[in-house]
Amino acid sequence: MTSSFLLVTFAIVCELIIAVGPTELLRIGAIDVDGHFTVHPSDLTSVSSDFGMLKSPEKPLAVLHPSSAEDVARLIRTAYGSATAFPVSARGHGHSINGQSSVGRNGVVVAMNHRKTGTPEPLVKPEEMYVDVWGGELWVDVLKKTLEHGLAPKSWTDYLYLSVGGTLSNAGISGQAFHHGPQISNVLELDVVTGKGEVKRCSEEENTRLFHGVLGGLGQFGIITRARISLEPAPQRVRWIRVLYSSFEVFTEDQEYLISMHGASKFDYVEGFVIVDEGLVNNWRSSFFSPRNPVKISSVSSNGSVLYCLEITKNYHDSDSETVDQEVEILMKKLNFIPTSVFTTDLQYVDFLDRVHKAELKLRSKNLWEVPHPWLNLFVPKSRISDFDKGVFKGILGNKTSGPILIYPMNKDKWDERSSAVTPDEEVFYLVALLRSALKDGEETQKLEYLKEQNRRILEFCEQAKINVKQYLPHHATQEQWVAHFGDKWDRFRSLKAEFDPRHILATGQRIFQSPSRSLFPPLSSSSSSASW
């Protein structure tokens, strides 16, 4: 061990003592876990920032790499019973945008994705059609494990390198959500460690309020350590189709028609995106078109400015390869896209689901992945989506976007209203996701402050136009804004917080609740109920 490392470690210990006091430091150091704690500078740095890179990096006091739910519970019981009630936050793949998984300088991060400490492997039950997974498991690894049994989860996110607990704390959406609902609508059971350090098993039959509260609950009531996910037979191949529109009204009519279809005679995935920048149609997410099929807006758009791309897929098995063409042709006949703009490819099911990771590797090779991402994700009610198009796509954005803009509708009846997730109060609503990347040395329209100002203008436009949008992956500056965000769900949300995290220990990076004066609380004791796999 080098003298420089000893000096760094001594400095960190001094910082810990200043932050939480010698008594609390001894409490943390004395926690008996099967995983391990670390205060190594590299470990602290690795959890000090997130994918968004919009907040200044802030190192926590320590990092816990747990090997079980009980490890997480022991840490939280220590925090709950301490004089300072130091904050604790779970971190999966660190894909938050606005520092939601941070705990500040006085907290402990639970690194849920650490596989070296013996966290449980996914356990597939083919007969019961479910898989039990550790909360920090990445969806891509869940997919690999379930495919060994010819099965797969029903609902996905576009990017698979996200943790199960992370997406379930928000909702988890992609082009399958119109039919299967978000990922939170496909959960059978959870193990949750509450803000009191209690391990609770919850489902429709047991601890029901906590079960629904945690799903979409932004980490406020507990840390998900296990999730039981519903499965279906996995297809082998995907017919992936993109078609273009120059009319927004026709584009949305077709999307809404597609998500209204039921039974086997329908597409399995419905998404879309807006093209206001000609260059974007031939890169990153749109690499589908390139290089053999480069698209120019001017060649297919009547106004030469904005195009809309419908993205649809049909899943099938190798044994159905002779009939899939006919099925797709029948479904396509009722759509009103530009006839010359059909782009089709065929690939393995796993390759389709993991399509964004390939784009990630390309961006990483160009040093364009680890840059600020001022993303803005909005749920827009169907009745106002045309106004949003005119004010934002054809107005505020201009002809430069610095990243993909997704747009697709979902059915509200596929969302369980008992969850904490918030959607507009209409039967159909749209996701609009502005997935922009900021470049320090790019054009003015690619710089961070420009894009953040554009986001502010979009939200201001919606407020002034009385478009009742709801943020997905929400970020609000004041509790008043959070109250407005949750609307009718706020009283229940606040009640759940008081019951399951009364000292406001968990997920303080969301900045939903004001931290109570922790020094006013006497040390508390709590019991724990164990939960086995």
Q: State yes or no: is 271 an active-site residue.
A: yes
For residue 515, give the DSSP letter.
P
Residues pairing with 244 in the sheet? 309
- Separation of alpha carbons 418 and 234, rounded Å: 29
> What percent of the residues of the chain are helix, what percent strand, and what percent coil, each to the nearest 5?
40, 20, 40
**Do 72 and 194 contact (CB within 8 A), yes or no?**
no
- Separation of alpha carbons 119 and 99, rounded Å: 25
Length of the chain: 533
Q: Which of 158, 232, 253, 320 is catalytic?
A: 158
Q: State yes or no: is 95 an active-site residue.
A: yes
**Do 431 and 377 contact (CB within 8 A), yes or no?**
yes
- Separation of alpha carbons 145 and 409, rounded Å: 30
Q: Which of 50, 141, 191, 271 is catalytic?
A: 271
Q: Are strands 62-65 and 108-111 parallel, antiparallel or unpaired?
A: parallel
For residue 395, give the DSSP letter.
I
- Separation of alpha carbons 458 and 292, rounded Å: 35
Q: Are strands 108-111 and 88-91 parallel, antiparallel or unpaired?
A: parallel
- Separation of alpha carbons 131 and 30, rounded Å: 35
For the record, the structure tokens of 205 come out as: 């039959």
Specify the amino acid at residue 353.
Answer: L
Q: Which of 95, 212, 373, 504 is catalytic?
A: 95
The secondary structure of 48-113 as a DSSP string is: S--TT--S-----SEEEE-SSHHHHHHHHHHHHHSSS---EEEESS---SSSTT---TT-EEEETT
Cα angle vertex 57, ends 55, 60, to 5°? 120
The secondary structure of 246-267 as a DSSP string is: S-HHHHHHHHHHHHT--SSSS-
- Separation of alpha carbons 201 and 488, rounded Å: 27
- Separation of alpha carbons 24 and 83, rounded Å: 8
Helix (H) or strand (E) holding 475: none
For the record, the structure tokens of 333 come out as: 């006949």
Annotated active-site positions, please? Answer: 95, 158, 271
